[in-house]
Structure 1
Amino acid sequence: MNRSILILPANDLGLFTDLYELTMAQAFYQQGMFAPATFSLFARQYPPNRAYLVAAGLDDVLAYLENFHFSPDNLDYLRSTGIFDGNFLEYLKDLRFTGSVRAIPEGRLFFANEPVLEVTAPIIEAQIAETFIINQVNFQSLLTTKAARCVFAAQGRPLADFAARRTHGIDAALKMARCGYIAGFQSTSNVLASQRYGIPPSGTMAHSLISSFVSEIDAFRAYAESFPDRAVLLLDTYDTIQGAYHAAVVAREMKAAGHKLVAVRLDSGDFADLSQRVRRILDEANLGYVKIVASGGLDEYEIERLVQAQAPIDSFGVGTKVGVSADAPWSDMAYKLVAYNGRSVMKLSADKASMPGPKQVMRLLDTNGKFSRDIIAQSDESLPGAEPLLQSVMSNGQPTAPSPTLDEIRNTLANDLQRLDDQHKGLYNPPHYPVGISGQLEQLARQVRSNIEES
């Protein structure tokens, strides 16, 4: 798929914004302020136990900007609030996004305080877009980073997204599947996400199938009859070990009929101990080809513990804790004005200061091709041997190129993670990757600060 499906009906796009974006827009309108403005999107700090972030959500941002408008129903509602001037609402009727976007591509790594995206447009257009842009990039970057940590912890073992039922809404469930696949998951249980994004579907059975039959082994036989070449049997409805013996019986019956049981699934209990015991049962029955899947309350921390314990688990299904990024459910992502009408601006608030002017992120490599350090620079700077990360992705309100495929984004992330030193991928208080500020940008910041203090 080359373009994201809109997450809202096209006629609702204009209203998905915070009220103050619209009240500011009216103030700009009435003051005749239509000059170009540049806004930078960045994370002020890392969520706990993180030392990198993964860029995601850009495709939805571009789809939103390309289709942005206020429908007649939108304008009727705004008029009904009694807040807005009639001339301003008439102006909104024909408002479209006409600006440009530079962004770090989806799947690339970025770090705290680096602009992941910059919007330049007439100030009203750029201001109203703030809510949607933060909503999508913040959320999807958070989920993709969480999923990437799970992939790192699994050390090559396959992962499946099982999060749909406990994510915070339908859009979140779809985005979790997409983010998980970008991060390296092999599949999703979410059938709509599979169809929409081209992600392989996966799934086993629930305990209700087992308990609807008189006996567990009858349930196993019925499922194996329906799916003789893709059956995965859930063991823990009653007793995991007894379930493993029943699965072994059914697996031998399937083998005699020319089929193979794919796997058994553990969904509760001490996975390290149970996986050892189940593996022995299967091996003693000459069923070494039957794999063990574990699911239920897993995240990167538990996966790492099981891998380090050498639990004979072949793959993991991850859901709730990953789908809501349970240990880090929010990040401090901000969208700040950095230039207006050719004048660089900055915010000086305590603990929330921002750097002025349009910017570029320059990435330097060491002699082994690994990431060495990043430099946040002015947008027109160049550093010998450095890779500029922000690319032009929209001009005059239109995308500059087709979106990369999901597999291309996935490969981009895999390549970046390979070049990031493992110390920065650790799950507990990893050291931060070095990010500096160019001399020219520091000089600009001093100058702008001085101008503000003197005004």
Structure 2
Amino acid sequence: MYRRTPSLHPGLMTDMYHPDSAYVSWRTGQNGLTTFDLYTRKAPFGGAYLLVAGLESALEFANTFHYTAEELNFLAHIRDYDSAFLDELANLRFTGEILAVPEGSIVFPNEPILRVTAPFREAILLEAGLLQAIGLSTLIATKASRIVYAANQGQQRRVSEFAFRRAQEPMTVARASYIGGCSSTSLLNAAYEYRLPATGTVPHALIEMYATEKEAFEAVAQAYNRYTLLLDTYDVRRAIHTAIEVGLRSQESLGHTLAAVRLDSGDLVADSNYIREQLDQAGLHYVRILASGDLDEWKIQEILEAGAAIDSFGVGTTLGSGAGSVERGIEGGSLGTVYKETWYVDEEGNEHPKIKIAGEKSTWPGKKEIYRHPEWSKDIVQLASEPRPDSYHRLLKPVMRNGEIIPGSLPPLTEIRELAQYNLTLLPERYRQLTATEPYPVHFSAELQALRKKATHQQLGRTHEDQP
């Protein structure tokens, strides 16, 4: 099970305006049952889809959220909150319900990934933590799935996650990358915590420590039964001949096998083909060629299309940061998830659709469901009160009820990965492409559109009434 590093101050894992908003709500006595949708307005990296991850972290945050005495003292120090409000916060726990698209599922822009219903103050205080948990993991899982897709064009090639040293949140990155299809991680803590395969080669510093490259290669070959040699410390084309010599000798004298050679710089296309030719001529057909060094999905696709003889990849910086591409004008680094109020039930039991009117950022009111055609021809977003479309699959699943995680809602990481890879095989190829030429069709039901129109007219009418 995924366990985040516990926060020493759980109640402070909010933005400043969240307790401020809760205080205004408390002062005016408005704390009705409120529904929020968590979603994103566009798919990342110029693609069409999002691979959902981070639900376990999100539910753990909701389930354990509370204020300690130390945190309440801090809030009293920075804001002149009424002491009775702080007393309420001392006893506050999340008591609502959450519906979510399971980890490993594929969603598209404007589809709710989470639907949260709780008293307003509980729901608003969870906003930032839920956004962070879902947003970062989904960004990285989607990035990983794209990198693996690019690497697997024509044949199956493994992608290892090498992101620790530059990752924004390394454990999250390792977990989400595994969901997205990476075969292993370089981070030992993640390998231990999540039972992931751990992989790594050797650094340039180790090669440089020895007087000659040959001595360095021999030291590595003597140390391990199966080993990888790094070729680009000095001269790649000279190094491969030294590696072959050492590899053949260590196999003969020690029974140790040269499993792979690694390129971390240079002309990956030309050098990899030269290396493959030399290895094959020496009878070392089984030795794999691993490439790394500032790679992303676009660069991997380019070098493979150019004929690079590479068997696997190690990807670090661009994966760990969820980077886009400056050269291609593609944004990255953040998913841009939002958390918007859609429904409110006041203290008298009156129901109110809620909407933000802001052009393309306008929201959809109402408690919603998502249904998918079994052949992935379209999704339908509709009101929860509407009947399920025939043969369509429901995407949102209950995961928390009365503030408690529903048993079975958090499957093992291996099952999440299997679900993710299965769903990626079902996703039609035109939506799997690195650059989407068309969006996946997401339809909003007639009743939902009518509610949005009605809520818009009502809100605009109230706005006009407020004007002098």
Query: What is the CA deviation profile of residues 312-355 of structure 1, one whole-angstrom value per residue up to 9, with x for unaligned ones?
Result: 11100001112112212123311001111132211112321100
Letter aligned with residue 439 of structure 1: A
Question: How many angstroms does 1:48 deviate by?
Answer: 4.0
Give, in whole Å, the separation in 2 of the partners of 1:313 and 1:82: 59
| Partner-residue secondary structure (3-state), 1:375 | strand
Q: Structure 1 length normalisation: TM-score?
A: 0.95
Q: Does residue 1:269 correspond to 2:278, yes or no? A: no
Counterpart of 1:8 in structure 2 is 6
Which residue of 304, 310, 321 corresponds with 1:324? 321
Counterpart of 1:351 in structure 2 is 360
Question: How many angstroms does 1:13 deviate by?
Answer: 1.2
Give, in whole Å, the separation in 1 of the partners of 2:452 and 2:371: 18
Q: Does residue 1:193 correspond to 2:190, yes or no? A: yes
Which stretch of the first structure deviates more once superposed, 380-389 or 123-132? 380-389
Contact residue 228 and residue 254 of structure 1 kept, 8 A: no
Give, in whole Å, the separation in 2 of the partners of 1:337 and 1:7: 29
Counterpart of 1:404 in structure 2 is 411
Counterpart of 1:82 in structure 2 is 79
**Overall identity of the aligned pairs, in %:** 37
Letter aligned with residue 238 of structure 2: Q
Counterpart of 2:454 in structure 1 is 447
Which residue of 396, 407, 410 corresponds with 1:390? 396
Contact residue 49 and residue 430 of structure 1 kept, 8 A: no
Give, in whole Å, the separation in 1 of the partners of 2:389 and 2:5: 39
Letter aligned with residue 396 of structure 2: L
Give, in whole Å, the separation in 2 of the partners of 1:95 and 1:304: 51
Q: Does residue 1:150 correspond to 2:147, yes or no? A: yes
Counterpart of 2:251 in structure 1 is 255
Equivalenced residue count is 444
Q: Does residue 1:159 correspond to 2:166, yes or no? A: no
| Partner-residue secondary structure (3-state), 2:435 | coil
Counterpart of 2:242 in structure 1 is 246
Give, in whole Å, the separation in 1 of the partners of 2:422 and 2:259: 31
Contact residue 44 and residue 50 of structure 2 kept, 8 A: no
Counterpart of 2:46 in structure 1 is 49
Contact residue 430 and residue 436 of structure 2 kept, 8 A: no
Letter aligned with residue 421 of structure 2: A
Contact residue 221 and residue 256 of structure 2 kept, 8 A: no
Q: Does residue 1:338 correspond to 2:306, yes or no? A: no
Which residue of 11, 16, 31 corresponds with 1:19? 16
Query: What is the CA deviation profile of residues 392-426 of structure 1, one whole-angstrom value per residue up to 9, with x for unaligned ones?
Result: 00011111124111111111111111111111111
Q: Does residue 1:69 correspond to 2:55, yes or no? A: no
Contact residue 38 and residue 337 of structure 1 kept, 8 A: yes
Give, in whole Å, the separation in 1 of the partners of 2:16 and 2:237: 57
| Partner-residue secondary structure (3-state), 1:365 | coil
Query: What is the CA deviation profile of residues 262-283 of structure 1, one whole-angstrom value per residue up to 9, with x for unaligned ones?
Result: 1000010010100001111111
| Partner-residue secondary structure (3-state), 2:62 | helix
Please show how residues 128-147 of structure 1 align to structure 2 within 5 Å.
Answer: 128-147=125-144
| Partner-residue secondary structure (3-state), 1:92 | helix
Which stretch of the first structure deviates more once superposed, 89-98 or 411-420? 411-420
Give, in whole Å, the separation in 2 of the partners of 1:429 and 1:393: 32
TM-aligned CA distance change 1:323 to 1:430, over 3 Å: farther
Letter aligned with residue 216 of structure 1: E
Q: Does residue 1:373 correspond to 2:383, yes or no? A: no
Query: What is the CA deviation profile of residues 259-307 of structure 1, one whole-angstrom value per residue up to 9, with x for unaligned ones?
Result: 2111000010010100001111111211111111000011101111122
Gaps of 5+ in 1: none
Contact residue 6 and residue 64 of structure 1 kept, 8 A: no
Gaps of 5+ in 2: 325-331, 346-350, 463-468
Which residue of 31, 34, 38 corresponds with 1:34? 31
Letter aligned with residue 364 of structure 1: H
| Partner-residue secondary structure (3-state), 1:356 | coil
Contact residue 38 and residue 340 of structure 2 kept, 8 A: yes
Counterpart of 1:437 in structure 2 is 444
| Partner-residue secondary structure (3-state), 2:289 | strand
Contact residue 291 and residue 313 of structure 2 kept, 8 A: yes
Question: How many angstroms does 1:46 deviate by?
Answer: 2.5
Contact residue 337 and residue 345 of structure 1 kept, 8 A: yes
Give, in whole Å, the separation in 2 of the partners of 1:85 and 1:251: 74
Letter aligned with residue 242 of structure 1: R
Please show how residues 203-222 of structure 1 align to structure 2 within 5 Å.
Answer: 203-222=200-219
Q: CA RMSD in A?
A: 1.2
| Partner-residue secondary structure (3-state), 2:249 | helix
Q: Does residue 1:99 correspond to 2:104, yes or no? A: no
